[in-house]
């Protein structure tokens, strides 16, 4: 790993110049883990948690996709990207754990890691928001990049 790509030689923030780079197919996958207490998990029916506001996971998927599309507006030095795809899956993986997996892709001069991370983060926050009336013991435990490909260096955790 080199230095901070978003700092110039004087240490000032800058957007990375990708003008000379070649556009390649890029994919990134991120995850968020959310702990839900028993009183929230008791609302699980089939593959979703039902609340007066509607299906929690379905709403979280839509929120995550919307957030991925706005990543360049939310994170100051991210390039605005027109995604080719954003896919989000939410599964109950343990007694009180929900796993959110987001995958983003496009053909461009820069990667889509931040879009995948933003999608997973906002999906997790949406689950929190929709379930907080039941409990404030909800914990977003982990948001991390799982893999990326198509750029200068591939990554897989």
| pLDDT means over runs of 10, the chain (157 residues) | 70 77 95 96 86 90 98 93 97 93 96 97 97 95 96 86
Residue 2: per-residue pLDDT? 60
- The total number of residues shown for the chain amounts to 157
Query: Catalytic one among 38, 129, 137, 154?
Result: 129
What whole-number distance in Å separates Cα of residue 28 and Cα of residue 132?
30
CATH of domain 47-150: 3.30.70.640
Digit-coded pLDDT (tens) for 44-69: 888 888 888 789 999 999 999 999 99
Q: Where are the domains of the chain?
A: 47-150
What whole-number distance in Å separates Cα of residue 79 and Cα of residue 75?
9
The reply to whether 129 belongs to the active site is: yes
pTM for this one? 0.91
Cβ atoms of residues 98 and 92 within 8 Å: yes
Secondary element (H or E) of residue 31: strand 24-35
């Amino acid at each position: 790993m080199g230095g901070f790509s978003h700092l110039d030689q004087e240490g000032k923030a800058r957007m990375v110049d990708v003008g000379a780079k070649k556009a390649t197919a890029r994919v990134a996958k991120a995850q968020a883990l959310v702990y839900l207490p028993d009183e929230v998990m008791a609302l699980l029916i089939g593959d979703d948690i039902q609340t007066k506001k509607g299906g929690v996971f379905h709403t979280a998927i839509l929120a995550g996709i919307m957030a991925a599309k706005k990543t360049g507006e939310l994170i100051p030095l991210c390039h605005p990207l027109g995604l080719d795809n954003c896919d989000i899956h939410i599964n109950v993986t343990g007694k009180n754990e929900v796993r959110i997996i987001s995958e983003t892709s496009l053909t461009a001069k820069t990667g889509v890691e931040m879009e995948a991370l933003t999608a997973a983060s906002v999906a997790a926050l949406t689950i929190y928001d929709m379930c907080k009336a039941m409990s404030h013991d909800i914990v977003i435990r982990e948001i991390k990049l799982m893999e990326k490909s198509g750029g200068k260096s591939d990554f897989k955790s």
